[in-house]
Amino acid sequence: MNREIKQLTALFLGFGLLMMASGLINSLLALRMGIEGFPLSSAGLVMSAHAFGFLFGPLVVPRLIHRVGHIRLFAMMAALAATATLAHPLLIHPVSWLLLRMLTGFALSGCAMILESWLNHRTASDMRGRVLGAYMTVNYLGFGAGQFLLLAGKPSGYELFSFAAMLFALALLPVAATRIGEPERPEPHLPSVRRLWRLSPLGTVGCFAAGFIGTSFVSAGPLFARARGLETSDIAVFMGLAVIAGLALQMPMGRLSDRLDRRRLIAGVGFAIIGAALVMIFVSRLGDLGAIGAAILYGGVAYVLYPLAVAHANDVVSKNDSVAVSGGLIFASGTGATLGPIVSTTAMGLMGPDGLFVTIAVMAAALGGFAVWRAVEAPPVPDSEKSGFMPMAPATPAVVELDPRAVSRPEVTIYPPEGGGEGRP
């Protein structure tokens, strides 16, 4: 057992290094584009390209795994991410950076799918919940820690790009050294958005909104902070604490959601995001400490939206549908993540830095209103048939096989299409 835990630790370490590199390059690019004078519209397209590449990965990576195997493909993808990162300071142009970000997103999607397949292969059924929780914790902590690496250099130089590329390369070491046998090679998970919408309209809209809101902040947050006068060191704290705060509230919110109607809770979170966005707009004007405090509040509220939407969708599907539906959830989230930076940076160009949080507030208001309508339109899921809450962050469809809700929940009868999809008979 101890040896198996150590082997899983190696996979977590590799994933953590990947997320640290991703967190660093994400904020670094946002700041560097401001230094280079990229138009906000171009910056939005560049930042959205990562989500598009990540979204494209699950459609292609399983076929590549069948050809070359897990370890070799992981090495290829990590090398691709490192190479694309190093190319940024050499090819300073919006089109070049858009293509490089797309390649990086695709490479990280492949690395994530490979690691998730390994975890699925080595985790016993009674440990899946704990391993998934640990995986998502590494996701948040790694990405949040990556923000603080901005303190290691100046955004105007090349050193931070090199540092991020080193982290991508170092992620190879624990994965290449593991003695865990390669799992079965996965089949492609095609997204089933139409079926997901028929079963859970709110789950679909909730994941879309979570992707839109989350990526808008991650992509344009450093630009907002810079416009408020924060220095690079303060921006690192601003972004890092916001991401980590999102992890801190997931389990308390999860316990609450297991007792309440999740549709009403999703509506409440949507309206709370509006409040947090308004606090950010006004309190961030008071100086560094005000902006950082507002970021903690905002992150704590905003990042619980995705796991709530996933939990609600799991409430209304049978375990036989979980894999296909998970592809739809991730596709909905990825679509929102692709559009979010484009819309938010366009709003910032028209309205100034406040446009970021005005955009987020509008999306949150739309979600909150839709959730209220769904709560009125159909009866709630009985507590005895709820799937249970798990801390989640947007991942690849492979992670659903690690989710205990997909393997241990008894069969349930789903609402027919004309019933609205949000409750039980």
Residue 6, burial from CB neighbour count under 10 angstroms (0-12, 13-18, 19+): exposed
Angle 352-212-231 from CA coordinates, rounded to 5°: 45
Residue 386 is given by DSSP the state -
Are 186 and 279 spatial neighbours (Cβ–Cβ below 8 Å)? no
* Structure confidence at residue 104 as a pLDDT band (50, 70, 90): very high
pLDDT single digits (tens) 57-77: 777 877 887 788 778 888 899
Q: Which two tokens stand for residue 162?
A: 């090199």
Tens digit of each residue's pLDDT (9 = 90 or more) over 321-345: 555 566 677 788 888 989 999 999 9
Instruction: Give 254 or 141, the one with higher predicted confidence.
Output: 141
Residue 125 burial (CB count, 10 A):
9
Whether residue 424 is contained in a domain is answered as no
Q: List, for residues 205-224, the tens digit of each pLDDT value.
A: 998 999 999 999 999 999 99
- pLDDT category at 405 given cuts 50, 70, 90 is low
Q: At 55, which amino acid appears? A: L
CA–CA dist 293, 27 (Å, integer): 19
CA distance linking residue 27 with residue 155, whole number of Å:
9
The pLDDT score that the predictor gives to residue 199 is 73
Which position has the higher pLDDT, 62 or 187? 62
Question: pLDDT band at 367, cuts 50/70/90?
Answer: very high
Lowest mean pLDDT among 12-16, 73-77, 152-156, 376-380: 376-380
Q: Grade residue 279 by pLDDT with cuts at 50, 70 and 90.
A: very high
What one-character-per-residue DSSP string does 172-237 give? HHHHHH--PPP-PPPPP----HHHHHHH-HHHHHHHHHHHHHHHHHHHHHHHHHHHTT--HHHHHH
For residue 237, give the CATH number of its domain: 1.20.1250.20
DSSP string, 75-117: HHHHHHHHHHHHHTTTS-SHHHHHHHHHHHHHHHHHHHHHHHH
Mean pLDDT, rounded, of the chain: 81
Matching residue, tokens 């390994």: 118
369 assigned to some structural domain: yes
The domain of 233 spans 2-419
Mean pLDDT value across residues 142-166:
92
Model confidence at 31, in pLDDT bands (50, 70, 90)? very high
Tell me what pLDDT residue 384 has. Answer: 58
pLDDT of residue 110: 85
Instruction: Please enumerate in sequence order all residues whose Cβ is within 8 A of that of 63, keeping only pairs 6 or more positions apart, or say none.
Output: 188
Give 195 or 32, the one with higher predicted confidence: 32
In a domain, 425, yes or no: no
User: Residue 17 domain-assigned?
Assistant: yes
Nearest-angstrom CA–CA distance, 156 and 129: 43
Within-domain flag for 102 = yes
Question: Residue 412's CB: how many other CB atoms inside 10 A?
Answer: 14
Nearest CA among 149, 52, 162 for reference residue 109: 52
| Per-residue confidence band for 410, with pLDDT thresholds at 50, 70 and 90 | very low
The total number of structural domains that make up the chain? 1
